[in-house]
Amino acid sequence: MEFAEHLIRWFHVLSGVMWIGLLWYLNFVQVPTMPKIPDELKPAVGKHIAPAVLFWFRWSAASTVLFGLILAWMEGYIGEALSIGLNGASSPETVLLGIAMWFGLIMAFNVWFVIWPNQKVALGLIEVSDDTLKPKSARKAMLFSRTNTLLSIPMLYGMVAYQNPPF
């Protein structure tokens, strides 16, 4: 059982590194660089690079959450962590972990139910009858992606602090 927990933890960390790495790539590299790319090259980004990035982005989000929940269940703290101390039995470390888990769940929800549907419209992967929807969808996806970037900082802190308590 110890090796199984080790393996699940490894897959959780590996998936999380990919997810947050792509999130930060999108927000700190791709989006700020797009205005500097010559117009004739932009279709390559929108038709080839962005869809590939978004494929790995959304599936690494799903696998991070899945492996994290499995790990919390295997370790026996899933209920205690997700209750974030409201049950009165949680340690400060578990409260931090629970907050981090909730941020991760919110972020994954944003990826699958806000960012990805809006990116499909913005990138033209699905047809829309109103051309004004593309920029609106792009802005909505960007705002939720930026929100996820901000949430990722305390989420990462909570995950690390659980294993390496600051108190």
User: H/E element holding 63?
Assistant: helix 50-75
* pLDDT of the residue at 85: 81
* pLDDT of the residue at 164: 86
For residue 75 the two structure tokens come to: 């370790």
* pLDDT of the residue at 88: 78
Question: Is residue 126 within 8 Å of 120, Cβ to Cβ?
Answer: yes
Distance of CA 157 to the CA centre of its chain: 15
Q: For the whole model, what pTM was predicted? A: 0.91
Residue 147 neighbours by CB under 8 Å, 6+ apart? 110
Triad 164, 5, 19: Cα angle to 5°? 70
* pLDDT of the residue at 129: 87
Question: Is residue 57 within 8 Å of 108, Cβ to Cβ?
Answer: no
Digitized pLDDT (tens) for each residue of the chain, 167 residues in all = 899 999 999 999 999 999 999 999 999 999 999 999 999 998 888 888 999 999 999 999 999 999 999 999 999 999 999 999 887 777 888 899 999 999 999 999 999 999 999 999 999 889 888 888 999 999 999 999 999 999 999 999 999 998 888 77
* pLDDT of the residue at 93: 87
Q: What share of the chain is helix, strand, coil (3-state, %, to 5)?
A: 80, 0, 20
* pLDDT of the residue at 166: 77
